[in-house]
Structure 1
């Protein structure tokens, strides 16, 4: 956000003054980080309850004069932005500022901390305590407000929610081509390949049930979005991580489009060929250490069934003798053992869209 836009934003916030989602502080260089965390929790929770995308904590404005007086808080840029990590470490679930904007106002330096609304269904705690606002006052998040937030996701599908700020320009061309090709193969008995390839992009995405009436959903961005468009899903990281453990150690993060990057993550796994000598056989048999189909099925399940409200990434840990797949959320329908023999049919899914 440029300086004129920040100045206009500040003027608007001062005009409406403090409320449940805006707090002003003069703030010196030694302003208490713990107090910032409490305000972060309170403002984030209140923004959620009011259906807003963000709240604001503003340093450099006097409560007495309602005017800019400037702030000396963390004038070193590196130290200022380290506050993001400090907040992320003590919030539950882990979340931090969308951005810290610095305005060079004529009356002094102003910091505008952009605080994301708490995810639907999940209140934000600071060091284990939930905070809220009553007008301009800071207090505890009451049980009634906690229940109101937690009940938000009882009948909501995170994956189906629209992303109004996103457009078709945020989608990856290679992923779109792959999606069309896969769709054409799956429905070859209904549509010719040329017909599918000739559809307008919005028509194809609607028929593939990835968009809704041409509008971009979170599913669209996860599966087909460009890596640089992942910010639309904030505070969710929209990320998979491969981690190598053992004598050698390494890791790599993978962003959308997941339709393509799941295969890229698989390529990082050291799937060596093993030589086995069957009993009563003369010649050894070569087999892969891991079956590609099973690995990708596990990874795709991690993506399809993750609890996205918890804002976590999918992690694949490669140990010397095994692969460990991790995603957020408990088992959704029944228990894992119910499905081992293939007889259990799930009645519901966490992310049906």
Structure 2
């Protein structure tokens, strides 16, 4: 009889060391795992893959009694294809990824946020371009990547500063092409995401705004949390089949990511070493990206705000016929198995 007690104490001790010991965690630590082998679609990007990379590097999955096969991909578009095609049950993406799944009525739901990534999305003016007022964007050529919501930043700026967004010429390019075009002066700015914004700034470009901060007056002006220029989160998603039949295995996965998030918050140098090794992002760019993200797990009102923002944008471009209700796209079940405090939003009764 002593061996199960020792195992249980060791498991709880591991969680307590990470600052996570709660009555709920103590109860779920001994819950039977429906499976111990999980495959997760990850993205080699600190916006989407940070906690996965840290958990893998420090064997945090093993501490929860599971073996995780991480299939690293290059973008959330890969998650759309793989999970949407039914080839995987667990993966990471952005708010837009969940909107597309919900709009197509696929049985895939978000079980936790990973990070608020609004600060990593933005707009940089090309080297040498100086504006005395945002209305001077009229007549300019701006590079962007079609199918990404950073284009909403232009509409927001136009509304705030009273200029005609239709007089700004948007030039569709991939991000690397946009950086080259901006550096040559072929376009006067780039809308995109990190580390592309950082790379253009390093060439002499000027950060003009991010999803959460204005820089139009030459200094940082953070936006109110309920009135960002752009809302977006990275997310962890699972198929409804696994949510229904393997909730304890998913909870074990989420507990490992919670422990990874604690390392990210409390021991940043150790976390950065792991991220650079696993994600293969160069140090300076990685630091900019990690510092811009607000890493936090769970199901929160901020996560739902991102879903609604991205849903409206997806409908405006014809990607979904109607905004998918949050109640159909999110579940608090797995987060509550880990810690009820992780679920600060609940579906309407």
TM over 0.5: no
Q: Which has the higher Rg, Structure 1 or Structure 2?
A: 1
Greater relative CO, 1 or 2 (CA 8 Å, sep 6+): 2
TM-score (norm 1): 0.23
Greater fraction helix:
2
TM-score (norm 2): 0.23
